[in-house]
């Protein structure tokens, strides 16, 4: 039987099987499995006596620590249009880190009901969309639910963003029955309250939200410049087009990315933030943003 781990408490795993049955399983020994299963893992489960055991953990597409979670499909960067003000630098740094983890970054702009039609936020949104990013806008009167439901369905999502941007409000609007666990979620999405051995996915809108703050730190110590250069959506169309194969699009001659920035095909501000980020990687910089 195959399934996906949706909850872990120490050595007990709750697995959602492909036929939608939910079973509590134990991992049958680290040595046999090679690795310990974590929430998000796709696993093989076998029944032995009256118990269920995880027999195999499938290869992961990504892995986040604290709390551990594997195979995250997307990270939703939640940022309010105002109050607190929209910060393109913060959004960019987050989507850089997310992209480097092989996770799809999605931008959710909240509080759009509080801005006028000529607000600069619309330029930012156009800029991200032009770069290939999916941007969802949301506000008190916006009917964003259909878009959000399609977005979340069957996926594991991580929500990231400063406090006060509207993460809990967003979850509640999606699923009013979610109110029951809002307290829990706010707590879970907060900072540094995690043990390393317990974690859980919450079912919402046909998908799953992980109880992790995901990218609560701007930690550039774990990524490489090469990885960043290869991961940015903005540069997708220009891979392999620079004179040097290992071009970091910084000071190298014959750089297709820089040329595209000059021709306004790539966002100048995102490129600037990318260059700053190369520096942060060199310094191994780690900062909190909240």
Residue 200's nearest CA partner among 213, 191, 209 is 209
- Answer with the entry of ligand GDP, Zn ion, none that 77 interacts with (C-beta below 5 to 8 A by kind): none
Give the nearest distance from C-beta 10 to ligand GDP in angstroms.
29
Separation of CA 124 from chain center? 20
- Answer with the entry of ligand GDP, Zn ion, none that 159 interacts with (C-beta below 5 to 8 A by kind): none
- Answer with the entry of Zn ion, ligand GDP, none that 247 interacts with (C-beta below 5 to 8 A by kind): Zn ion
Distance (Å, whole) CA 167 – CA 201 = 16
Q: Tell me whether residue 140 or residue 239 sits nearer to ligand GDP (CB atom).
A: 140
Q: Tell me whether residue 167 or residue 225 sits nearer to ligand GDP (CB atom).
A: 167
Binding piece for Zn ion, criterion CB under 5 A, among 51-59, 214-222, 245-253, 267-275 = 245-253
Q: Note whether 182 and 171 are within 8 A (CB).
A: yes
Give the nearest distance from C-beta 226 to Zn ion in angstroms.
12
Who contacts 195 (Cβ-Cβ below 8 Å, separation ≥6)? 67
Paired strand residues for 52: 25, 47
Q: Tell me whether residue 40 or residue 166 sits nearer to ligand GDP (CB atom).
A: 166
Give the nearest distance from C-beta 20 to ligand GDP in angstroms.
30
Give the nearest distance from C-beta 127 to Zn ion in angstroms.
21
Q: Tell me whether residue 110 or residue 231 sits nearer to ligand GDP (CB atom).
A: 110
By CB neighbour count within 10 A (0-12 exposed, 13-18 middle, 19+ buried), where does 105 fall?
Answer: buried
- Answer with the entry of Zn ion, ligand GDP, none that 257 interacts with (C-beta below 5 to 8 A by kind): Zn ion
Q: Which of 137, 148, 247, 277 binds Zn ion (CB under 5 A)?
A: 247
Give the nearest distance from C-beta 130 to Zn ion in angstroms.
19
Instruction: Give the count of residues interacting with Zn ion (CB under 5 A).
Output: 5
Distance (Å, whole) CA 113 – CA 173 = 15
Distance (Å, whole) CA 200 – CA 5 = 9
Give the nearest distance from C-beta 152 to ligand GDP in angstroms.
17
Residue 227's nearest CA partner among 269, 160, 278 is 278
Which of helix, strand or coil describes residue 287?
strand
- Answer with the entry of ligand GDP, Zn ion, none that 255 interacts with (C-beta below 5 to 8 A by kind): Zn ion
The greatest distance separating any two alpha carbons of the chain, rounded to the nearest whole angstrom, comes to 67
What 8-state DSSP symbol labels residue 39? B
Interacting residue ranges for ligand GDP, rule: CB under 6 A: 110-111, 113-114, 138-140, 163-169, 186
Distance (Å, whole) CA 60 – CA 68 = 12
Identify the helix (H) or strand (E) that includes residue 128.
helix 121-130
Give the nearest distance from C-beta 76 to ligand GDP in angstroms.
11
Q: Note whether 41 and 33 are within 8 A (CB).
A: no
Binding mask 202-241 for Zn ion (x = CB under 5 A): ----------------------------------------
Q: Tell me whether residue 12 or residue 140 sits nearer to ligand GDP (CB atom).
A: 140
The residues that touch Zn ion, with contacts defined as CB under 5 A, are 242, 247, 249, 255, 257
């Amino acid at each position: 039987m195959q399934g996906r781990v949706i909850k872990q408490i120490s050595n007990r795993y709750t697995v959602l099987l492909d036929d939608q049955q939910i079973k509590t399983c134990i991992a049958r020994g680290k040595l046999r499995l090679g690795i310990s299963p974590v929430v998000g893992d796709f696993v093989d489960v076998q029944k032995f006596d009256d118990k269920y055991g995880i027999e195999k953990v499938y290869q992961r597409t990504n892995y986040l620590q604290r709390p551990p979670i594997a195979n995250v499909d997307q990270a939703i960067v939640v940022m309010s249009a105002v109050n607190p003000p929209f910060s393109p630098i913060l959004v960019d740094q987050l989507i850089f880190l997310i992209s480097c983890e092989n996770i799809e970054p999605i931008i959710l702009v909240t509080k759009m009901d509080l801005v006028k039609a000529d607000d600069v936020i619309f330029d930012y949104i156009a800029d991200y969309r032009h770069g290939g990013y999916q941007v969802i806008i949301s506000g008190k009167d916006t009917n964003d639910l259909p878009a959000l439901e399609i977005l979340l369905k069957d996926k594991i999502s991580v929500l990231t963003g400063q406090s006060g941007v509207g993460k809990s409000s967003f979850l509640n609007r999606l699923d009013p029955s979610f109110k029951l666990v809002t307290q829990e979620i706010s707590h879970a999405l907060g900072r540094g309250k995690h043990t390393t051995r317990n974690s859980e996915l919450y079912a919402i809108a046909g998908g799953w939200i992980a109880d992790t703050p995901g990218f609560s730190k701007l930690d550039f110590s774990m990524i490489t410049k090469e990885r960043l250069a290869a991961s940015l959506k903005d540069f997708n169309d220009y891979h392999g087009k620079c004179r040097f194969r290992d071009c970091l699009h910084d000071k190298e001659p014959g750089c297709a990315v820089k040329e595209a920035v000059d021709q306004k095909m790539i966002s100048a501000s995102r490129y600037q933030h990318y260059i700053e980020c190369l520096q942060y990687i060199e310094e191994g910089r780690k900062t909190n943003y909240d």
